[in-house]
Amino acid sequence: MTIFIWTIQFIFAPVISPLCIGIIKKIKAKLQNRQGASIFQPYKDLWKLLHKDEIISHDASWIFRSAPFIIFAVTIVVGASIPIFTSFFKSTLTGDMLIIVYALAISTFFLALAGMDTGSAFGGFGSSREMTLSALAEGGLIFSLLTVALVSGTSNLFAISSSTMFGQGQHVLSVLLAFSGFLIVLLAETARFPYDNPDTHLELTMIHEAMILEYSGKRLALMEWASANKLFIFFALGANLFFPFGLAQNAYAGEIVMGITIFMAKIFIFCMVIAFIESSMAKFRFFRLPDLLLISFIFNIVALGLIY
Amino acid sequence: MGFYTTNNMMKEKTQQYIPKDAEVKFCDNTAIFEISTSEIKKVASDLRGNKNLSLKLITATDERAENGCFKIWYVFGVPQENIFIVPFIQLKNTTEFPSLSLNIFEALNYERKIQTFFGLTPIGCRDSRPIILHENWPTDVFPLRKDFSCQTRPKTASGSYRFQKVKGEGIYEIPVGPIHAGIIEPGHFRFSVAGERIVLLEPRLGFTHKGSEKLLEVLSLNDKVKLSEKISGDSSFSHSLVFCQALEKLSDINVPERTRYLRVIYAEMERLANHFGDIGAIMMDTGFNFGGAQGARLREIVMQINERITGSRFLRGVNVISGVTKDIDNREKSKLSLELENLSKDFSEVIAVAVNSTSLLNRLKGTGTLSAKIAKKHGVVGVAGKAVGMSNDARFDYPYAAYDKLLLGEVATEQDGDVYARFRVRIKETHASINIIQDALNKLPEGGINIPNIDVIFKKNAFVISVVEGWRGEIVYFITTDAAGNISRVAPRDPSFINWAVLRYAGFDNVIPDFPLINKSFNLSYTGNDL
C-alpha cells in the first residue's frame, strides 16, 4: 500500500501541474468574454513539443543542453518531497523546508545560466531580471516558511502539515500574515502577475519567457513542464503549510481519496485567485517590484514577531 | 474656403508669406513660386520658424526630360486658411541641394529620402545614411528617377549600415526585430541600455518597402486608387479619400453633396474602429486584460458594421474618383444611429472601469513622455502632437468633405505628452467621432453618391496638395501632372513618417519593459513609412 501511495505522491506534481495552467487560462478566458481553450490544452501542447525537432544554437554550451533536464529533475524531486495529500511521510530525507527552498534555487540558478548561455540579448536581460527578483524573493520565502516552522516547532514540511497548532487562536494572525507574504513571493517565483506576464508576446517585457526564448522542441517542453511543476509546488506549499487540514493521516484508501479531493479543491481556489489577479490588474513597472517583495518580507517579520 | 478661390483673394492672403520678387503661380488654393537654391534655406526657415506654418512635405520631381532639371518642392500649409505655400528650387546640371535639416528638424528624413530615391545630395545634412532602402540595394540606382523602370531588377549589393553607438561602462545593445513575437509589422529597434534604462533607441525601418510611389506613377487610374487603399491597410479609407480628393481637384470634379457627408461618416467609422483597437491594445500591453479584451470587442463591433454597410471591414473599394460606391439608406441610417448610441454607452462603461484601476494608471502616467518642445521642433502630427497640446487637426485646419458644415467641437488635446495623454486623446476623439457621425447622419442630404461613367481628365502641368486627418494624424498627398495631363508624380506622406523620428525621444530614459507600451501608444504604421 505504501509503495502505491508513494507512486501517486511521486507522479502527482508532473501529472496535475499542466492542469493548473489549463484551468487558470480557462478562467482568464471566461473573464475576458472568451471561450478559451480546453483545460487539457497544456497536455496537448507538451505532447506536441515533445514530438518536435529542436534547434540549438551553435554557441550553446553543455549548460544550455542540460539545464532543462536539471530543472525538470529538481521540480520532480521537490514535487515528491512536499506534503500533497498525505502528511505521514515524515521520514523522507528531502522533506526539510531549507532543502526545498534551496533545491528550487538550484533550478533558478540553472535557468538563469541557460538564459545567458547563447548570448542572446533577450536571454541576458531575462536572466538579469530573474536574479534581481529571486534574490529579493528568497528572504520572503524563507521567513514565511520559518513562521509556520516556528509555530509547529519543526522544519519538516510533513510534520508542519500535520500540526494541530494552527487551530489555536494565538497563531492565527501570524500564519495569515506569513501566508500573505508567501502569496506575494509565490507570484514572483512562478512568473505571474504583477511580476511577469506569462501570456505576453512582447519580448522586451518578458522575464521567465525571455530566458527560455531560445529553446525549442523537447527541451522547451521540459522547461514549460518544469515551470508548471514549480507553480504546482508553490500551490501545494501554500495549501498544505498554511491551511493544513484535510490531509490523509494514514494509509487507508478512504483517507487518501478524501485527501486528494480536498487538495484539488484547494488548488482550484489558488488557480481562481491567480486568474482573478491577472484579469483585474495591470502588470507593475519593473522598478516597483522590489517594493512589493519588501512588503512580503515585512509581513513575515511581523508574523515572526507575533509568535512570541 | 471652397476650391474656387479667386486669384485676387489668394494673392491677398498669401502676400505675407511670399518674397516680393517671386513669380507666383496659383493652382486652386496653392501658391507656387520658384526660389533660388541659395535663398531656399532662408525662405523655408522663415515660413516654418517666423510665420509658424507647418511643413507638410518635402519631395522631389524628376523633370529632366521636360525641363532639364530636378525640382525640389517644399510644401507649407497655412492652418485655418486652407492655403498651401509651395516654394520650389530647380537643380540644373547639379545633383546637390542645400539641406534644411539644421533649422527644420523634420526636413532630415525627407532629404534622406530624396537622396536615397533620387540621388540628389543634401549639402550639410547631418545624417547621410540611406533611408528605407537597405544594404542589398545598390547605392547608384535611384528608383524614383524617370529613367528607372519599375521592372528593373538591380543586382544585389552588400553594404553595411552604421547604427549609432553609445560607449561607456555597462552599456549594452539589445537588437529587437525585425521579426517580433507578436503578429505585428516588421521593424528593427536598436536599444543601447544601461541596466534597464534606455540610453539610445534607434528604429530602423524599410522592411515593408513595396515601391508604392513608383507604382502610383505607372498603374492604371483605378489601380492607383486601389493601391492608395493599401498604403497603410488600417487607414484604407483615409488614404483613398485623400488620393481621390486630390484627383477630383486635379480634374475639377465637384462631388455630390451627399457624398461629402458619407465620406465623413466612413472616415469617422475608420477612426472609431482604430481608436477602440488602440485603446484596448494600450491596456493589453500593460497586462490589463479586461481593458484589452473590451477594446478588441468594441473594435470588432465597428468592423462588422463597416462590413454590413460597405461589404468591407476596412472600407476598401468605397472611395472612387467622383464619390463613393456605397450608400446609407434610411433604414440603415436609424440602425447605425442606434448602434452608435449603444457603442458610446458601452465605451463609457469600459473607460470608467479602466480609469479606476490604479495599477493601470500607474503604468500609463509618466511613461514615454514626449516634451512639447521636441514635438514642436519636429512638427509632430496626429495623436502624439495633440497629446502635447498642439491643436493641429486637418479637419479643422483644412476642412474637406463636409467637415466645415458639421459640429466638430474642439480639437482633442492633452498637455502631458505621456502614454496616458495619448490614451486620453484617443478617448476624447472617439466620443467626438460618434457625435460627428450622428450629426452627419442627421444632416445627410439627398442626392447621388457618385457621378456614374465620368470621364476623368486631369489639368495639364498641374499640381495639387490634399490633406486629410486620418486616425493617426494628417495624411498629405502631393500630385503633379505632366504636359499630357498624365499623373507624373505622387508623393504620399503618412503621419507615421514624421512621428517615427520622435519615438526615440519618447523612449529615452524609460525602462526597457515599458518600450512596447510606448510604441503602442504611438501605434505608427510601418508600411505607411516604408511605402
Q: ipTM of the assembly?
A: 0.88
Fold of B236-522: Cytochrome-c3 Hydrogenase; chain B (1.10.645)
Q: How far apart are the CA of B520 and the nearest CA of chain A, in angstroms? A: 11
With 0-12 / 13-18 / 19 or more C-beta atoms within 10 angstroms meaning exposed / middle / buried, residue A24 is buried
pLDDT, greater one: A1 or B176: B176
What DSSP state is assigned to residue A156?
B
Is a pLDDT exceeding 90 seen at residue B183? no
When pLDDT is averaged across residues B402-424 and rounded to a whole number, the result is: 90
* pLDDT over 90, % of chain B: 59
What residue ranges of chain B are covered by domains with CATH 3.30.460.80?
Answer: 7-123
Q: Look at residue A302 and give its three-state secondary structure.
A: helix
Q: Do A194 and B359 touch (CB under 8 A)?
A: yes
Is a pLDDT exceeding 50 seen at residue B1? no
Confidence (pLDDT) at A218: 95
Confidence (pLDDT) at B491: 93
pLDDT in tens, A214-224: 999 999 999 99
Confidence (pLDDT) at B196: 87
Q: Do B287 and A281 touch (CB under 8 A)?
A: yes
pLDDT, greater one: A90 or B229: B229
pLDDT, greater one: A62 or B152: A62
Q: Do A282 and B297 touch (CB under 8 A)?
A: no
Is a pLDDT exceeding 90 seen at residue B82? no
CB neighbours of B472 closer than 8 A, spacing ≥ 6?
Answer: B235, B274, B382, B383, B494, B495, B496, B499, B523, B524, B525, B528
Is a pLDDT exceeding 90 seen at residue A42? yes
Q: Does A41 contact chain B (CB < 8 Å)?
A: no
For residue B175, what is the nearest residue in chain A, using CA coordinates?
A121
Average pLDDT of the residues of chain A: 90
For residues B43 and B53, the answer to whether their CB atoms sit within 8 Å is no
Confidence (pLDDT) at B383: 94
What residue ranges of chain B are covered by domains with CATH 1.10.645.10?
Answer: 236-522
- Give B74's strand partners: B58
Q: Does A200 contact chain B (CB < 8 Å)?
A: yes
Q: How far apart are the CA of B14 and the nearest CA of chain A, in angstroms? A: 50
Residue among B359, B365, B511 with most chain A CBs within 10 A, to mutate: B359
Which range of A68-72, B98-102, B283-287 scores highest in mean pLDDT? It is A68-72
Q: Residue A123 has which C-alpha cell?
A: 536571454
Closest by CA position to B340, among listed B258, B260, B424, B271: B271
For residues B109 and B57, the answer to whether their CB atoms sit within 8 Å is no
- Give B478's strand partners: B465, B491
Is a pLDDT exceeding 60 seen at residue B3? no
pLDDT, greater one: B4 or B39: B39
Predicted model pTM? 0.91
Which superfamily, per CATH, for B7-123?
NADH:ubiquinone oxidoreductase Nqo5 subunit (3.30.460.80)
Is a pLDDT exceeding 90 seen at residue A172? no
When pLDDT is averaged across residues B282-311 and rounded to a whole number, the result is: 93
Is a pLDDT exceeding 90 seen at residue A266? yes
CA end-to-end distance (rounded Å), chain A:
41
Least confident range from B6-10, B67-71, B104-108, B171-175: namely B6-10
Q: Residue B526 has which C-alpha cell?
A: 510601418
pLDDT in tens, B201-230: 999 999 999 999 999 998 988 899 999 999
Closest by CA position to B250, among listed B490, B469, B35, B494: B490
Least confident range from A128-142, A247-261, B508-522: namely A247-261
Closest by CA position to A296, among listed A153, A169, A154, A145: A145
When pLDDT is averaged across residues A60-83 and rounded to a whole number, the result is: 94
The minimal CB distance from A204 to the residues B283, B359, B512 is found for B512
Residues of chain A with Cβ-Cβ distance to B196 below 8 Å are 125, 129, 286-287
Give the number of other Cβ atoms within 10 Å of residue A62's Cβ: 8
Confidence of residue A164 (pLDDT cuts 50, 70, 90): low
- Give B475's strand partners: B468
